Structure 1
């Protein structure tokens, strides 16, 4: 599959953190695909439109996790 876009989205609240067009992201995408060979399947997703989504943590969720470390034990902590 030819990738067209690289998106960053929060894995907790689904907020889009940013995106990079493929022409600008070719090297980044290669590195992410290399990471996927290890344990990247937990944070990389592909869609049929040619986009790769990196599941990261937005600033608000990161701050919430720092203030409430017990949230790490929960599979889904945002309602």
Structure 2
């Protein structure tokens, strides 16, 4: 099982970590709300987690064009 990090805008896979390399305490940590978990973390069919985040390219674009924040999906 793995934890995948994927850009929520361009859907590029940023990286992945084997789940067995993650400390159990880290997984149980509750620094984010249930709403944030529902919005940014998905559990796949095979038990893998996908974390929706942002890649450096999309972050750079958002800094240049802040009006993109108002759009749910701005890359077509």
Q: TM-score, normalised by structure 2?
A: 0.85
Q: 1:11 aligns with which of 8, 13, 17?
A: 8
Superposed CA RMSD in Å reads 1.5
Q: What's the CA shift string for 1:3-62, capped at 9, x where partnerless?
A: x2111000000000010001112444333xx33535221100111111000000000000
Q: TM-score, normalised by structure 1?
A: 0.82
Q: How many residues align?
A: 74
Q: 1:62 aligns with which of 25, 48, 59?
A: 59
Moved over 6 A (4+): none
5+ residue gaps, structure 1: none
